[in-house]
Structure 1
Amino acid sequence: MFAVLKTGGKQYKVASGDTLQVERLAADAGETVQFNDILMLGGDKTVVGAPFVDGAAVQAEVVDQIKGEKVIHFVKRRRKHSSKRTKGHRQQLTLLRVTDILASGGDKSGVKAAVGAGSVAAVAVAAAPKKATKKAAAPKADAPKAEAPAAGGADDLKQLSGVGPALEKKLHEAGVTTFAQIAAWTEEDVAAMDEKLSFKGRIEREGWIEQAKEKTQG
């Protein structure tokens, strides 16, 4: 029996005993996680979801948290003399071993759902200030921890590579108004903001954090 599951925006065909690498999940080595977004089940009878198969699930054991092979990004900007940047990147991955494929009853198994690390970081940051809601307004539920507007007015975020009026507006709506906030982003903040802006990997490709640091130091 095999299943086609969806995680991290990708689809994987798996069978019991298979090992696979997926985008980093919020789980420790040795934990068992469950994928509930099952697109298809195969075997004696093929079941295709619409879009997912009700009650189906894939359970897997987390073997380790690893990094993918190094990828080199080379960016050269047009009409700007001597403006180029070479940067290496290693994708954060989770190594899994598939332990079981459930054709039904996945919604009642009680096994921890497989959730991306970026999503969990956003939820954890949002939950932190709940105790202080009487004194100050809580930030948006999925906002990274470095998004609180800083005093002293907003910066012109359009000075960052690839940021236009529309993207600047989205950043403002997310509470990001200054270069200092962007310069202080962590890997978890970048992952959460990638999901919020729907431009996965753009922050690293364009080098926003490095540019923001230069502008705050300058």
Structure 2
Amino acid sequence: MFAVMKTGGKQYKVKAGDRLRVEKLAADAGETVQFNDILMLGGDSATVGSPTVEGAAVQATVVDQIKGEKLIHFVKRRRKHSSKRTKGHRQQLTLVEITEILTSGADKSGVKAAVGAGSVATTAEAAPAPKKAAKKEAAPTAAAPAAGGDDLKQLSGVGPALEKKLHEAGVTSFAQIAAWTPEDVADMDEKLSFKGRIEREGWIEQAKKLAGA
């Protein structure tokens, strides 16, 4: 009886007792692994999978982790100053010996699935890490005055954006605005980029009334 199995992107026709080299598996020497991608079973009657034969598998024992023959890769670019480059490469392989071909019941065999060393897949899928709940920061309320300060939006022409600029400049109360001198007004005009607005809107007079209230 023989089987055609797939591993590492290649197909192999195997029977019990065969030894073959496959793309490196995540297994140690002496371990038993199971190839579950069986494309065909042959013998007295052939069974062809669509694409694989359900319940079929090939079990094998890992003999050793080896390297393939050295391959030389030579590149020459004659139009680029005659540059040349030579590289050598030895493919990582696993030597296995086929021990048994299962025609059914592969899912109940309990044998570790043959997985490529470079694959992230495992026989038992790892539970996904719990997602950390994103901390929701409370958005500042535009209408709320600064802590310990006055609601500067009561002044004519002052909205949330302008109030924020005033807070950044250290102005949080009507009393501060009521006490501004001409020098303070000129300085604040520059900071707020609204030259002449303070006098036009009459902030100082409004602040005096609001502070008194």
TM-score by length of 1: 0.55
Q: CA deviation at 1:133?
A: 5.7
* Corresponding position: 1:113 with 2:107: no
Separation (CA, whole Å) in 2 of partners of 1:37 and 1:116: 13
Separation (CA, whole Å) in 1 of partners of 2:15 and 2:84: 45
* Aligned partner of residue 104 in structure 2, secondary structure: coil
Change (3 A) 1:132 1:53: closer
Separation (CA, whole Å) in 2 of partners of 1:37 and 1:25: 15
* Corresponding position: 1:63 with 2:51: no
1:26-105 equivalent positions in 2, closer than 5 A? 26-77=26-77, 79-105=79-105
Separation (CA, whole Å) in 2 of partners of 1:5 and 1:84: 40
Q: CA deviation at 1:77?
A: 3.2
| Alignment-mate amino acid for residue 132 of structure 2 | K
| Alignment-mate amino acid for residue 104 of structure 2 | S
Change (3 A) 1:80 1:51: same
Q: CA deviation at 1:79?
A: 2.9
* Aligned partner of residue 115 in structure 2, secondary structure: coil
Separation (CA, whole Å) in 1 of partners of 2:82 and 2:131: 49
Residue deviations 1:120-168 (CA, integer Å, cap 9, x gap): 4xx69xx9xx8796399xxxxxxxxxxxxxxxxxxxxxxxxxxxxxxxx
Aligned residues: 131
Q: CA deviation at 1:24?
A: 0.3
What's the % identity of the aligned pairs?
78
Aligned-residue RMSD, C-alpha = 2.4
Separation (CA, whole Å) in 1 of partners of 2:79 and 2:25: 41
Q: CA deviation at 1:45?
A: 1.0
| Alignment-mate amino acid for residue 81 of structure 1 | H
Change (3 A) 1:72 1:60: same
| Alignment-mate amino acid for residue 118 of structure 1 | G
* Corresponding position: 1:134 with 2:161: no
Q: CA deviation at 1:70?
A: 0.5
1:178-217 equivalent positions in 2, closer than 5 A? none
Q: CA deviation at 1:44?
A: 1.1
Separation (CA, whole Å) in 2 of partners of 1:102 and 1:134: 44
Change (3 A) 1:132 1:101: closer
Separation (CA, whole Å) in 2 of partners of 1:102 and 1:25: 20
- 2:10 corresponds in structure 1 to 10
Unmatched tracts of structure 1, length 5 or more: 137-218
Structure with max Cα Rg = 2
* Aligned partner of residue 118 in structure 1, secondary structure: coil
* Aligned partner of residue 3 in structure 1, secondary structure: strand
Q: CA deviation at 1:93?
A: 0.3
| Alignment-mate amino acid for residue 42 of structure 2 | G
Higher strand share: 2
Residue deviations 1:9-41 (CA, integer Å, cap 9, x gap): 111000001100001001000000000000100
Q: CA deviation at 1:109?
A: 1.0
| Alignment-mate amino acid for residue 32 of structure 1 | T
Separation (CA, whole Å) in 2 of partners of 1:68 and 1:80: 33
Separation (CA, whole Å) in 1 of partners of 2:102 and 2:130: 43
